Structures are given as structure tokens and as C-alpha cells.
């Protein structure tokens, strides 16, 4: 992973001179030719992007650009953590880069700016990391911590400073291979958010709007199980959708022990998810969505009232999913 730090944009700086050289970077207009004032640099949040050991250079650059796009809407101080394996360490020291970017706001003369600090560290130097991160963060602002591509969330237990201080801890459980451990005693379990759930917001809204045509007692009458089938690329989305459907049906009056069945469908398209409510009698509900094609189909017959609907469907963009998981 040592090449990730080298591939990320920015100018390398001594770790002890991060703040001083950031100030110099702004004085030099951050290479933009723009003149950012104090208002344009008003930071709203601290945002730590922590790249897991399995992150590739291409993936790291993609997540960096996601953070840049997010910062265009929510100006922030971003700290990017790049761990490296001890066998790949040159000198065992922390390395740092700084980067700044400005872009036009919504009105003429409005300028929004963000700043990034990249820290590369060997695992042997991890004990010094929390102190350095704390120095890089803006004081008196909330901290949001995005742990990207950690195959096992148990490995995050070594970063108690970040887990304990963060207002939200963001994970993408679709990146955790099936069978890998995900158990961790979270300091604040209520702060943990799954980006899979955030990306599914438009899907959940679409299903909810369709089902809102039926009264809650009608939806649970004769209901036996929630059944989800999915293509090979949507295991995590299917799991989240099944749990959400179960929770909403329980809120309608279904028993908490309502059966939930989720399994891959070998015949399905890779990006497809199918959600069914299994009833006794002739009631039925089915949602079929294909995220690659951006289309979905609903069909239902509840208490004799039948309905079908074809509609467009999409997942939230990565930067919009970050905002959804952070703030809502």
C-alpha cells in the first residue's frame, strides 16, 4: 500500500510542519489562481477517510475523489490515513502530504474551499497516529470517520480514539467478504452507519411509496415470510433490504418472529434484487429491481386490489450516500 500515498495528489511535507505549510499553500492560492478568503474556508466538519490494507491504488484514488465531491457541498478538513505493511516500510516514520482545492459555489463570488491531509504510517507506528490525527483536525467541530475496505471490522478495535470521538462511523459492509469476522465491541454502537443502507435510500423510498397505497393491517394479513433473492453482486443490498422490510412490517403489526429468507439466485442478473412478501391465500407483493439497468417492477394483490408499476430505480451516488449516512 505504500504506493497509494505516492499516488494521491498533494505536496509532501514534514509531519511537524503540516499546519504551517497548509497556511503557505493557501497563501500560494493552492495552485488555483483563486483568492480564498476566511469565509470561503469555513470548515463544517472533520472527516477522516481510513483506507484498509486491501485497498488498491485505483480504489484509493476513486475514494479520494468521492471525498473531494463530498467536500464541494460540505466544506471540511479531510484526513486520509494510508497504512502500510511493516515489510514495505522504508524508514518506519509517518509521512504527510497536504492538498487544497477551491470551486465555485451556487452564487457569483461564492467560493468553497477544502483541505486534505494525507498520512502514511506503518503499523509499528500506529501508537503515534492518534496524536497526529488530533493535531490535524479542526477543533470544536464534529468528527466523521469512514473506515473503507476493512475486511474485518474487528481490526478497527485498535483505533479507539477515532471510534470513540466520531459522531458517525461509516462502513461499507458490501466490501466485507462472506464469512469474515465483523464482530467488534463498538464504543458507541448507535453511531455506526452502513453505506449499503444509505445507498439504498431511493429504493426504500420507492418501495414505501408503492406500499403506502395499502393499509398496514392489510399488508400483514396472512403474511408468512419476507423473501429476498439476489444476483451475485448484490448480497449486501439484499441483506439490508430484507432487514428493512422486516422492521417496517413489524411496525405495521407483524410478529417480531416473522421469517426472513435471503439467498442468491443463480439465474438472476448480477445486479438484481427481488423482494417478495409470502402470504397465505391469494395475497402477493413483489419488487424486482435491476440496478445496472436502472429499472424496477412492482406487482401486488392485497385484499383483492391489484396493482403493477414499472419505474426507474437507482442507488445514491457515493458522495450522496456519505451525506445520508453522516447527517440523517
Whether residues 58 and 96 fall in one domain: yes
Residue 38 has pLDDT above 60, yes or no: no
**Do 32 and 163 lie in a common domain?**
yes
Residues 128, 10 share a domain: yes
Q: Which residue has the higher pLDDT, 25 or 300?
A: 300
Q: Is 52 in the same domain as 180?
A: yes
**Which pLDDT score, from 0 to 100, does residue 109 have?**
65
Pick the last residue of a domain from 155, 187, 219: 187
**Tell me, what's the pLDDT at 1?**
46
Whether residue 169 is found in the same domain as residue 83? yes
Q: Is the pLDDT of residue 214 over 50?
A: yes
272 pLDDT higher than 90: yes
Whether residue 70 is found in the same domain as residue 30? yes
Which pLDDT band, with edges at 50, 70 and 90, does 86 fall under? low
Dihedral (Cα; 28, 34, 39, 45), 10-degree rounding: -80
User: Is the predicted pLDDT of residue 40 greater than 70, yes or no?
Assistant: no
Q: Is the pLDDT of residue 246 over 90?
A: yes
Statement to judge: residues 165 and 215 lie in one domain: no
Residue with cell 468553497: 112
Q: Is the pLDDT of residue 3 over 80?
A: yes
Is 193 a member of any domain?
Answer: no
**Residues 168, 109 share a domain:** yes
**178 and 204 assigned to the same domain:** no
Q: What is the pLDDT of residue 69?
A: 94
CATH number of the domain encompassing residue 221:
3.30.360
pLDDT score of 216 more than 90: yes
Residue 323 counted as domain residue: no
Task: Give domain status of residue 8, yes or no.
Answer: yes
Domain boundary among 164, 187, 210: 187
Instruction: For residue 192, tell me if it sits in a domain.
Output: no
The DSSP code for 265 is -
Answer yes or no: do 129 and 42 share one domain.
yes
pLDDT at 31 over 60: no
For 29-63, give the DSSP string: GGGTT----TGGG---EEEEEEE-TT--HHHHHHH
CA 301, 306, 310, 315 dihedral sign is negative
Name the β-bridge partners of 95. 120
pLDDT band at 199 (very low <50, low <70, confident <90, very high): very high
To 5 degrees, how large is the angle CA 257–CA 259–CA 262? Answer: 140
262 & 180 share domain: no
> Is the pLDDT score of 63 beyond 70?
yes
- pLDDT band (50, 70, 90) for residue 30: very low
Q: Is it the case that residue 313 has pLDDT exceeding 60?
A: yes
User: Does a structural domain hold residue 134?
Assistant: yes
pLDDT band at 43 (very low <50, low <70, confident <90, very high): confident
> Is the model more confident about 72 or about 183?
72
Residues 215, 164: one domain? no
Tally of structural domains, the chain: 2
Asked, for residue 54, whether it belongs to a domain, the answer is yes
Whether residue 327 is contained in a domain is answered as no
The pLDDT assigned to 72 comes to 86
Residue 326 belongs to a domain: no
Domain boundary among 130, 155, 187: 187
182 pLDDT tier (thresholds 50, 70, 90): low
More confident call, 134 vs 185: 134
pLDDT at 29 over 80: no
Q: Which residue range(s) make up the domain with 256?
A: 199-318
Rg (CA), the chain: 23
- Is residue 41's pLDDT more than 90? no
More confident: 69 or 75: 69
Amino acid at each position: 500500500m505504500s504506493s497509494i500515498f505516492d499516488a494521491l495528489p498533494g505536496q509532501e511535507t514534514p509531519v511537524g510542519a503540516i499546519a504551517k505549510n497548509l497556511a503557505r499553500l493557501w497563501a500560494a492560492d493552492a495552485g488555483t489562481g483563486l483568492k480564498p478568503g476566511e469565509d470561503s474556508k469555513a470548515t463544517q466538519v472533520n472527516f477522516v477517510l481510513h483506507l484498509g490494507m486491501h485497498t488498491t491504488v485505483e480504489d484509493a484514488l476513486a475514494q479520494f475523489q468521492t471525498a473531494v465531491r463530498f467536500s464541494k457541498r460540505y466544506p471540511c478538513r479531510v484526513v486520509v490515513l494510508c497504512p502500510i505493511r511493516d515489510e514495505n516500510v522504508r524508514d518506519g516514520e509517518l509521512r504527510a502530504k497536504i492538498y487544497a482545492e477551491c470551486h465555485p459555489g451556487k452564487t457569483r463570488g461564492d467560493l468553497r474551499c477544502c483541505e486534505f491531509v494525507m498520512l502514511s504510517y506503518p503499523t509499528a507506528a500506529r501508537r503515534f497516529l492518534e496524536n497526529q490525527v488530533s493535531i490535524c483536525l479542526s477543533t470544536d467541530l464534529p468528527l466523521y470517520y469512514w473506515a473503507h475496505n476493512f475486511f474485518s471490522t474487528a481490526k478497527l478495535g485498535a483505533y479507539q480514539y477515532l471510534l470513540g470521538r466520531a459522531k458517525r462511523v461509516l462502513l461499507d459492509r458490501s466490501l466485507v467478504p462472506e464469512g469474515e469476522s465483523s464482530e467488534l465491541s463498538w464504543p458507541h454502537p448507535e453511531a455506526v452507519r452502513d453505506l449499503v443502507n444509505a445507498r439504498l435510500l431511493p429504493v426504500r423510498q420507492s418501495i414505501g411509496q408503492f406500499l403506502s397505497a395499502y393499509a398496514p393491517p392489510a399488508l400483514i394479513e396472512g403474511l408468512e415470510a419476507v423473501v429476498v433473492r439476489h444476483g451475485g453482486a448484490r448480497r449486501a443490498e439484499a441483506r439490508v433490504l430484507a432487514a428493512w422490510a422486516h422492521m417496517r412490517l413489524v411496525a405495521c403489526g407483524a410478529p417480531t418472529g416473522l421469517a426472513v429468507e435471503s439467498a442468491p439466485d443463480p439465474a438472476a442478473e448480477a445486479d438484481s434484487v427481488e423482494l417478495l412478501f409470502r402470504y397465505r391465500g391469494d395475497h402477493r407483493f413483489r419488487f424486482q429491481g435491476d440496478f445496472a439497468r436502472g429499472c424496477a417492477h412492482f406487482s401486488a394483490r392485497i385484499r383483492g386490489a391489484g396493482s403493477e408499476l414499472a419505474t426507474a430505480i437507482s442507488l445514491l451516488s457515493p458522495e450522496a450516500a456519505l451525506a445520508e449516512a453522516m447527517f440523517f
